[in-house]
């Protein structure tokens, strides 16, 4: 099992999207890369904590490759928008790839570099060592399962199992 952390705007839709994918064992929404421990959603929304809404993805690399995960990730984000995805704006909605595993970071750095070499627009997806990750409140976990009509910037109808 491997773990990667992805920030792609509102974490509700990103979690639901990855929950539909084969090889994904577990997803957890939370707050990463911030300056305070155990922030609340309200604190993160102020933009003063420097956290980004992130999902922790635990995956079976025998069923889904890191390349496949990154391909899926880039299919649901706009990699050119800084601090925005869909209608959501603010530093908590920035995009990023984070890990504690140097191999994953090196791979994703090369992946982004290859994409950038073929693209005149500047890709603004962060690729950093995971500084921290704090689970979001329980009501955010699997939010769109609990609230099927909740807001999502991703068209999940294309991906449902």
Q: Which residues are marked as active site?
A: 10
Residue 40 CB coordination number (10 Å): 14
Cα gap 112→110, rounded to integer Å: 5
Pairing mode of beta strands 95-99, 126-129 = parallel
3-state helix, strand, coil in the chain (%, to 5): 35, 25, 40
Q: How far, in Å, CA of 127 to CA of 70, rounded?
A: 12
């Amino acid at each position: 099992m491997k773990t990667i952390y992805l920030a792609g705007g509102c974490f509700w839709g990103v979690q639901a999207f990855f929950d539909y994918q084969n090889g994904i064992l577990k997803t957890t929404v939370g707050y990463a890369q911030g300056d305070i421990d155990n922030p609340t959603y309200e604190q993160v929304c102020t933009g003063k904590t420097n956290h980004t809404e992130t999902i922790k993805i635990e995956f079976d690399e025998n069923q889904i490759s890191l390349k496949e995960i990154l391909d899926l990730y880039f299919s649901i984000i706009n990699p050119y928008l800084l601090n925005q995805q869909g209608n959501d704006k603010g530093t908590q909605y920035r995009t990023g790839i984070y890990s504690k595993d140097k191999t994953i970071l090196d791979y994703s750095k090369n992946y982004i570099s290859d994409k950038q070499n073929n693209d005149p627009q500047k890709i603004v997806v962060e690729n950093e060592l995971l500084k921290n990750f704090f689970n979001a409140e329980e009501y955010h976990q699997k939010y769109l399962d609990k609230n099927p009509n909740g807001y999502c910037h991703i068209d999940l109808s294309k991906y449902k199992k």
